[in-house]
Each structure stands twice: as C-alpha cells, then as structure tokens.
Structure 1
C-alpha cells in the first residue's frame, strides 16, 4: 500500500526472479574471485579433461580433411579395347566430360602408355624387343568429389558397360581403409568425451560438496526459516556454471595452443610429401560448443550434488 501511495509499483514475479538470478549470478562470481587459486586449480583440471576429447576431435577433423583432399586424386581407369582407334578414344574422352558425375577426363594413347611405362619402370631396353605394344589405351576419369562412395562405384559400373571399354578399374581400397580408421577414431572420441564428461561432473560435484559442507550452518539456518530448496540451491548451481565455463574456456585455449605448437612441424611434413596441407584448429562454432558443454556439465554436476546434500542436511 505504501508503494502504491508513493507512486511506485511492486515489480512482477518475472522481474523479481530475474533480479534474484542476477544477484546470485554476480555473487557466485565474486565468491570465486575471493579464492582465485582454488578456482584456477579447479578450472585447470576441468580444462585438461575437456581439452583431451576436443584435441582428439581436432585431430580426426584434420585427418578427414587429408582424406578428402586425397579423394580428389581418385580416378576411374577405363581400359579401351584394342579395336578402338586413337581418334575414337580421344573423342570418347571428350564425350565423357559431359556425363553426370564426371569432373574431367584424360585420354592416354597406347603409345603414350608404353612411353610412360618405359620411363617409370626402368625396363625400356627389355620392352624395345617387343614387336607389338601390349598396353591398351586408357581414359582416366576423375569423378565429382560430391558423388560419395556409392556414386563413384555406380559411375564406374556405368562407364564399364560402354562398348569401347574392355575394363573399368576403380582403386579405392586405400580410401575405404582410411575412412574405416577415421570412423573408429571418431567413435573413440565420443567414448572418451563421455567418460571425461562424467569425470568433469564428478570434479565439479566434489568441489560443490566441499562448498556446501563449509556453509552447512548457513544452509541449516535457511532451512530453519523456511527457505525453499530452489533458493538454497541457486548459488551452488551458479558456482557449477562458473567452474564449467572457466574450464571450457581453458580447454579451448589449450587446444589452440596445441594446434599452434604442432602447426609448423605438420606443415613441414606436408611439404615433404608435396602437399599444401595446414593444420586447422577448433572452429569458433565448435569452440562455443565446447564452452556450452563445460557449462552444461558444471550445472549438471552441481545440480546432482546439491540435491543429494540438501536432502541430508536438516536443521537441528
């Protein structure tokens, strides 16, 4: 009534709830700031636990990008019949460029095939005694990289049925082995992430448990005067939020530092193999996801621990 007479309105429940959350939000941050060493050690442990799966994730992403770059060199070799003339073979290569799923073609005549074989095999003198050229003409077809494994196989089968083609060969066993290894690595990252996520929840839960025990008398007094559990729980939940956020931020920094440290050696190794590959770090979207994961794990660990501990604390 006094507020109304003074021209003031009582704030609504939503505004009061927002004010309470804002108060606890900054109160929990200030509490961490008053114990910086303990907060830093907790964040370091959480950061290392989150950085391990994040680092493995970055590694598998880079290996996958290497595999995709190798896929661009994947070719379908069409061995032409001996009856196909050089003019017809060259014309067929031009026709195949218009086929769906074909990126480019390269016609290699029988004479060129023999010359390349002599240059690369070292048996030039032995091959000189042959009266006829035993090597067929070849059309090297580069499939569109967007086709995928099934699309490339279907394209190879379709081109192999052409009347001028004697054999269509697609050598992608090495690529299939690489993708199988990458699939195992990605599943392993998921398993490690789950296990270390549980570890993060345990770490934060133990930190919150110690905080609750240190404030046990305060909790008993709040229960004695009738404070609801949601009110008592809120500061501890925000403490878990801050622990998770700081741990996630530290994990992002550790991963970025690791990529920076390994970038130069990885580039030198790539150059030794004639590649332009560069080690890529954690994209900012994945970095934000790492921060979100830290926050969720921190909040969840605090929620479970606070719920169990409050049930055990009763005012005397």
Structure 2
C-alpha cells in the first residue's frame, strides 16, 4: 500500500518540475530585456539632462542626413520626368523624292502596324513646307523658291516602354525600309539628359558616403567626450567588477538615440524644404497638365532614412567606445 501511494506523489513532483522549467528559462530572458529597456530609458534621460548639447549634435546629424535624402528625392522625381520625356521621342523618316503621296501614305500605314510602333504620321512635302512657313516666318523668302526643297516625312512614335537600345535597333530597321532615304531620331537632347542624371546620381552617392562618414565622426567624437567626462565613474565600475559589455551598453544606446533623433530632424528639414518649394513645384506640375506628379520619400523611404540614421549612430558609437573603454583602467 505504501508503494502504491508513492506513485501519485512522484508523478505530481515530476509535473511540477515540468511546469517550473519554462518559467526558469524565461526568467533570464525577462531580466535581459528589462535590463536593456532600463538602459535605453536611462540613456535618453541622460541626453535630456544636457538637452541643448544633445539637440545641437542631433541637428548636425539631421542636416547631414537630409542632404543625401533630398538628392534621392530629386533623383526620383527627375527619373519620373525623364520617363515622360522619353515618351515624347519621335523618329523622322525622310522619304525619297520619287515616292508618290499614295506610296508614302501606304508606307506610313504599314509601319504603324508594327509591334514596336505606337503611331505613324505621314507629312507630305507640301504640308511640311506650309508648317515651316507658319513656324519660321520666312514666307516671302519661301515664295521666291522655284521648287520645294523639303522631302516628305513619316514621323514614328515608338512605344513608351522601349529602352534606348531597342529604339536604336528600331531606327536601323526603319532606315532599311524601301523608299526611306534617311532616318533620324530626335534623341540627342535625351542622351544629354541621361548623362546629366548619371552625374547627379553619382554625385548623390559620393555626397551620401561623405556625409555618412561625417555622422560617424560626429557621433564618435560626442561619445568620446562623454566617456572622458565619466572616466572616474567608469574606473569605479571596473573596480567593482563590472564587465566592459555592461559599461558599454549606455553609450551604445546613446548612439542609437542620436541617430534616431537626427533622422527625425532630417525628415522635418525635408518637410520644411517641400513647404518652401511648394509654389514653384506646383507651377512645374501644372505646366505638364497633370502628367507629372512630384513625390517625396514615401513610407519605405522614411523607414530607410530612420534605419540609416540609427545604424550610423550605433556604428559611430561602437567604433569609439570599444577603443576608449579599453584604454581606461583603474589606478
């Protein structure tokens, strides 16, 4: 009877041990989270106690982050604008003089049925002369000409989603068509635009890298001064047996706050810039009859800017605090 009565007691003890095992495993994790949360709040309170110096540092970081972010927004809008200009590119096919009007119209209709062509328009030599007469203002001089010097032209509008290489290949194939004397593409100005955009994009990357390095130096120098101001406190903590990880943690969270607050200030500066440029930007968009819409960073861009700010603040702190703490030893 004694043995049979011991079985429920053992099983109950085993069940109690199984229930207490998850709680014992969760206790260190909860302690770790609470320690980091307390350190996060304490580092923010430390920045608040010297709020003027902290605000100046965060403002400099915000300006350094706002400049490349503004260039990114500019590049995005210029890319959208270049795509709208890309849709306006047209190829001009100058026809041979012995080609009749009916043959030119038939050629224009046949070319318009090609998959790469959005539209094709035939302009006779006489219609082209009349258009030139109205636009140039040389009516009296043109009347003195015995013959019409202008050839018949077919204007070809490629599909808007075609790349520059595909448009170039289309131009070569159009020039080989029977009855076409020469084919030209009004794309020289677009090539110059793409070259300018490429220079602006490369400059944005260079400026962004330089300003990112500046943020690292700013955060690193600020943390270095903070460590020097707390040198005696750090020496006492090391004498009491505190680890470098425990001493380093508040400084790392200070770098986190510097980067986050700097990124928020960068967003505020970008918003102020958009407000200041609202009137000329509105005039520019109205000139395109609603075809052009200016946009800002967007939700993903805001998250990216916040992440970059936090990462730079944290990295600048890491690069400084490890080296400075290793040089401080109790005397």
Q: What TM-score, normalized to structure 2?
A: 0.86
Deviation at 1:285, TM superposition (A): 1.7
Residue 282 (structure 2) pairs with residue 267 (structure 1): yes
Alignment root-mean-square deviation, CA:
2.4
Residue 241 (structure 2) pairs with residue 223 (structure 1): no
Structure 2 equivalent of residue 292 of structure 1: 307
29, 43, 58: which is aligned to 1:28? 43
Deviation at 1:50, TM superposition (A): 1.2
Q: Residues 24 and 56 (structure 1 numbering): CA distance in 2 closer, same or farther, change over 3 Å?
A: same
Please give the residue correspondences for 1:59-138 in structure 2 after superposition, counting only pairs within 5 Å. Answer: 59-138=74-153
> Cα deviations across residues 286-305 of structure 1 (Å, max 9, x unaligned)?
22211111111100000011
The separation in 2 between residues aligned to 1:287 and 1:172, in whole angstroms, is 36
Residue 49 (structure 2) pairs with residue 55 (structure 1): no
Structure 2 equivalent of residue 246 of structure 1: 261
Structure 2 equivalent of residue 201 of structure 1: 216
Gaps of 5+ in 1: none
**Which deviates more, 302-311 or 275-284?**
275-284
> Cα deviations across residues 296-316 of structure 1 (Å, max 9, x unaligned)?
110000001101110111122
> Cα deviations across residues 16-54 of structure 1 (Å, max 9, x unaligned)?
433332222222223223333222211111111111222
The separation in 2 between residues aligned to 1:127 and 1:274, in whole angstroms, is 36
Q: What TM-score, normalized to structure 1?
A: 0.90
Larger Rg: 2
Contact 1:102–1:142, Cα closer than 8 Å, also in 2? yes
The separation in 1 between residues aligned to 2:267 and 2:284, in whole angstroms, is 25
Deviation at 1:75, TM superposition (A): 0.6
Gaps of 5+ in 2: 1-16
Structure 1 equivalent of residue 8 of structure 2: none
Question: 1 or 2, which has the higher helix percentage?
Answer: 2
Structure 2 equivalent of residue 303 of structure 1: 318
The separation in 1 between residues aligned to 2:25 and 2:49, in whole angstroms, is 32
The separation in 2 between residues aligned to 1:91 and 1:222, in whole angstroms, is 91
The separation in 2 between residues aligned to 1:239 and 1:122, in whole angstroms, is 71
Residue 193 (structure 2) pairs with residue 173 (structure 1): no
Contact 1:93–1:107, Cα closer than 8 Å, also in 2? yes
Aligned length: 312
